[in-house]
Structure 1
């Protein structure tokens, strides 16, 4: 399996998953200065404009609706014990939160499960939930920035190297928009079934990655069953985001924020965006195979 550099943290070797980081260029703005600040025409123009008119024009040019959500829930707490028991039955207490330089803007948590059935083989599961919040700033409103990132995440999930039978479909009742991307990935340890669900609720994007495989002779899990479980978990994670912003948690500042532009660590987690290296990450390590 591959070693996910969590858009925050590293998973144990057994739990590495199909992932990648979306690198977002840093934007620099240069401010120019005029050497003719003392010209007579400029002085006249300045004298002819009232302070109120200037303030009104400036406010109109820079007005951006504040983002709806100002914070994020604790990543490892977005799913109930019952839901974790369904997705990672042998790993409900294995949740690991990745590091984040701004927990109000980005975070993720991952779990792993290995159900060892002796000579019959083992069932492996891996789950990751990544959260990324956008503030409104000079580039636009938070929900629109989140929508752009949402589309990018879906595209990344559809382009994993080595993926077979890739399918995409909308997920109803999950935030403002949600898409499920599923595919198969064949490895020497077994056939992996990957489910990636990307959802947007207001100015927050939730990316849930869930995969499973039958190892050492155990049967391959049902893709339909894995998808159903992943969709349930995605709905729960989206609900947790909304709940975290109730009772005064909403109404983010409309002022520009560096955190609205994901950096290398800001992309919530490398586990949310599959890449060319993803083909190495779906299978457990050699030690895990021996254990099973």
Structure 2
């Protein structure tokens, strides 16, 4: 039991790595944008070409998925309500995570990790910053690029995903952390001025087979569509 507890703690630490990618990207981008927003505009009047941001709100990230979706992605999660991350402004940034560990005794244990992040951008009259949609598009591209550059990723596959917001990209890859093999699926989607980021990964314990990327993908892509729909619904 002691070894199992230590093993699960190690898995939780490893599974949280994709979250750092999301938090790191959004955090640095927001900080840079804030500095740019504080800089005085070169123009004496706001640019009439900067369109207003389409969406003004974000959904509660821990309520982005239905109970049925969570039952499929993290069936053995102890708390289906999720663990909501801290945010200084819930209208611009929000995250939530879930962890699931399904023990099958001598047949091994399947571990699942799910996290979601929302990032919303307002329009800025400074043409160097631009509209909320422009800023979200730039962040979307940066997030996809960072996911592609994940250190240690193997068998990386990148595909455009249709029917999920204005644009979406799905990445799957294998990665090993502290001797444990993970299969990871990342979906990055944008709808107008909101970017949705989902990481869904699994690992084996006690000799159980590593989950197949195709199986995780079948669950992650519909979840991404559901999260985008939640963002639209939050804005009426």
TM-score range, shorter chain: 0.7 to 0.9
Q: Choose the corresponding residue for 2:70, options 84, 88, 111.
A: 84
Q: CA RMSD in A?
A: 2.3
1:46 aligned residue: none
Corresponding residue SS for 2:228: helix
1:216 to partner: Cα distance: 1.3
8 Å contact kept, 1:131–1:206? yes
Unaligned runs of 5+ in 1: 4-10, 33-56, 247-292
Matched, 1:68 2:54: yes
Map 1:109-188 → 2, pairs under 5 A: 109-137=96-124, 138=126, 139-187=129-177
Give the 4+ runs in structure 1 shifted more than 4 A: 11-15
2:4 aligned residue: none
The structure-2 alpha-carbon separation of the partners of 1:214 and 1:135, relative to structure 1 and needing over 3 Å to count, comes to same
Q: Which has the larger radius of gyration?
A: 1
Partner Cα distance (1:212, 1:240) in 2: 25
After superposition, what is the alpha-carbon deviation per residue over 1:198-217, rounded to whole angstroms, capped at 9, x for unaligned? 00001000000010112110
Which protein has the bigger strand share?
Answer: 2
Corresponding residue SS for 2:17: coil
Question: Taking structure 2 as the reference length, what is the TM-score of the superposition?
Answer: 0.83
1:97 aligned residue: 84
1:187 to partner: Cα distance: 3.9
Partner Cα distance (2:117, 2:48) in 1: 31
Partner Cα distance (2:225, 2:232) in 1: 11
Which protein has the bigger helix share?
Answer: 2
1:206 aligned residue: 196
The structure-2 alpha-carbon separation of the partners of 1:73 and 1:98, relative to structure 1 and needing over 3 Å to count, comes to same
